[in-house]
Amino acid sequence: MVLHKLGVNYSAILASAGIVGLAVGFGAQTLVRDVIVGFFLLFEDTVSVGNVITVGNESGVVESIGLRATQSREFSGILRVIPNGELARFGNFNRGFMRAIVNFGLAYEQDTTKGMADALATARQWANENKEIVLEEPIVQGILDFGSSGVTVRVCVKVQPQTQWDAE
């Protein structure tokens, strides 16, 4: 109203302010999303410092979780700064349990039934020696694939988080 009383054409100023406000709104959209997701990450305890997570094709140990971004260090030493908005889908190796999965080949000349029975006996022996990390009895899932020179068989066992690599 003051500008109108002074005889200044304020329509151009209002239009410019509206465009600037729209641009700031679109620019802040990502920041607001990152902060909201960060809030839920911190208070829902879906991920914690020290957890091993995968985001896309990258895995690493979580070093810090902030409102805007999470820092994860890959095995190679690279520190990744991940905006929390990108953590809408991630895998956490530290929640609940993991499975140790071992695939191995049996030649077509071998008796597959005996080979799978031997694999199960070996897996059970290993499980008895490692009761502190084993959560369930190992199983032989059976033949997975028919290759050019033999079949691929899988043995798996449910284990404590972060122990699956040693178990394999």
Instruction: Name the CATH code of domain 98-167 (choices 3.40.710.10, 3.30.70.100, 3.30.499.10, 3.40.50.720).
Output: 3.30.70.100
CATH code: domain 1-93 is: 2.30.30.60
Residue ranges of domains in the chain: 1-93, 98-167
DSSP one-letter string for 60-113: EEEEEE-SSEEEEE-TTSPEEEEEGGGGGS-EETTSS-EEEEEEEEEETTS-HH
Residue 153 has pLDDT above 90, yes or no: yes
Average pLDDT over residues 15-43: 74
Q: What digits encode the pLDDT tens for the residues 112-121?
A: 999 999 999 9
Q: What digits encode the pLDDT tens for the residues 80-103?
A: 999 988 887 888 888 889 999 999
User: What's the pLDDT at 156?
Assistant: 95
Contact 90, 99 (CB under 8 A): no
For the whole model, what pTM was predicted?
0.63
- pLDDT greater at residue 93 or residue 78: 78
User: What's the pLDDT at 34?
Assistant: 82
SS3 159: strand
Q: Which tokens in the block code for residue 31?
A: 């920041």
SS3 35: helix
CB count within 10 Å of CB 97 equals 12
Q: Which tokens in the block code for residue 98?
A: 């993991």
